[in-house]
Chain A
Amino acid sequence: GQQVMQIPQYQHVQEGEDFTTYCNSSTTLSNIQWYKQRPGGHPVFLIQLVKSGEVKKQKRLTFQFGEAKKNSSLHITATQTTDVGTYFCAGSHNTDKLIFGTGTRLQVFP
């Protein structure tokens, strides 16, 4: 079946360090979305990528969609304590059915 995996599962960083999470799909994606879930909260939409090789930036966050549209990454520059949470990618395979990845839990130490 369709699978979306993320690595690493956990990441602990010192405040100010960079952070990257990688998302890999077993099949080609039509688009990919990224969500952030704070501890005890619900997923909140961050961005959607549609085009092959697309790169989008939101302040300290950089999102990339792979050329083959099977992988994606989220990079955070100079992490802050407010970045704490679990980051999920979610991919669609030619339908609007969104499959969530396994998530990367980020912990930031001040």
Chain B
Amino acid sequence: EAGVAQSPRYKIIEKRQSVAFWCNPISGHATLYWYQQILGQGPKLLIQFQNNGVVDDSQLPKDRFSAERLKGVDSTLKIQPAKLEDSAVYLCASSWFPGELFFGEGSRLTVL
């Protein structure tokens, strides 16, 4: 069974630039999550999708972050414009509903 795929693995940008991350969940998993993990901290939920609908986005900074999950499969997370404090690993996870989360390898963002 293929795992959760994420790209790019690494991205370095300057502040005020934009960046996009892509995630393809495990086939058949209806629930998809984007977490932000700052170095030394636990993952923080940004947004949760059930199929292509948003279940929770209460901690998504909507002035600069956006996410979509078209057709209820893969998803993109965009940051525009980026700030220094956005430097983190962006983890995508998927699950049957409810249940254990399967995480991708993550996308490490450095904002200079």
A residues at B contact (CB < 8 Å): 4, 33, 35, 41-45, 48, 88, 90, 92, 95-103
Chain B: residues with Cβ within 8 Å of the partner, total of 22
Q: Are B106 and A42 neighbours in the complex by a CB distance under 8 Å?
A: yes
Q: Are B42 and A101 neighbours in the complex by a CB distance under 8 Å?
A: yes
Cβ-defined partner of A45 (8 Å) among B35, B45, B100, B106? B100
| Chain B residues with CB below 8 A from A102, complex form | 41-42
| Chain B residues with CB below 8 A from A98, complex form | 33, 45, 101
For chain B, residues 84 to 110, give those with C-beta under 8 angstroms from any C-beta of chain A.
91, 97-106
A-B pairs with beta carbons under 8 Å apart, 27 shown: A33-B100, A35-B101, A42-B91, A42-B103, A43-B43, A43-B103, A44-B103, A45-B101, A48-B99, A88-B42, A88-B43, A95-B56, A96-B31, A96-B48, A96-B55, A96-B97, A96-B98, A97-B55, A98-B33, A98-B45, A98-B101, A100-B35, A100-B42, A100-B45, A101-B42, A102-B42, A103-B42
Q: Are A99 and B45 neighbours in the complex by a CB distance under 8 Å?
A: yes
Interface of A is mostly: strand
For chain B, residues 14 to 37, give those with C-beta under 8 angstroms from any C-beta of chain A.
31, 33, 35
| Chain A residues with CB below 8 A from B42, complex form | 4, 88, 100-103
Bound complex: CA of A105 vs CA of B103, how far in Å? 19
| Given A45-B101, A102-B42, 8 other A-B residues pairs in contact with their CB atoms under 8 A | A33-B101, A42-B106, A45-B100, A90-B101, A96-B98, A97-B55, A100-B42, A101-B42
Chain B residue nearest to A92 (CB atoms) is B98
Is B44 positioned at the interface, with any CB of A under 8 Å from its CB? Answer: yes
| Chain A residues with CB below 8 A from B44, complex form | 100
Bound complex: CA of A98 vs CA of B33, how far in Å? 10
Cβ-defined partner of B41 (8 Å) among A33, A35, A90, A103? A103
Chain A residue nearest to B56 (CB atoms) is A97
Bound complex: CA of A48 vs CA of B33, how far in Å? 18
